Amino acid sequence: MGLLFFVAAIFATLTSCISVLESITANCVEVFHTERKKTVVTLSVIYLAASAVVALGYSLFYFEAKLPNGTTGQLLDVMDYVSNSVMMPFIALLSTILIGWVKKPSFVIEEMESSGHAFRRKRLYTVMIRYIAPVMMFVLFLQSTGILSGIFS
pLDDT digits (tens, 9 = 90+) for 3-47: 999 999 999 999 998 999 999 999 999 999 999 999 999 999 999
Per-residue pLDDT, 93: 96
Report domain extents, the chain: 1-62, 65-153
Phi, psi of 33 (to 5 degrees): 55, 50
pLDDT (tens digit per residue) in 42-66: 999 999 999 899 889 888 889 999 9
The structure's pTM equals 0.72
Nearest to 99 by CA among 138, 139, 131: 131
> In the Cβ-directed half-sphere of 33, how many Cα atoms lie within 13 Å?
0
Percent of the chain with pLDDT over 70: 99
Measure the CA–CA gap between 55 and 6, rounded to whole angstroms. 18
Q: Rounded CA gap, 118 and 141, in Å?
A: 33
Q: What is the pLDDT of residue 144?
A: 85
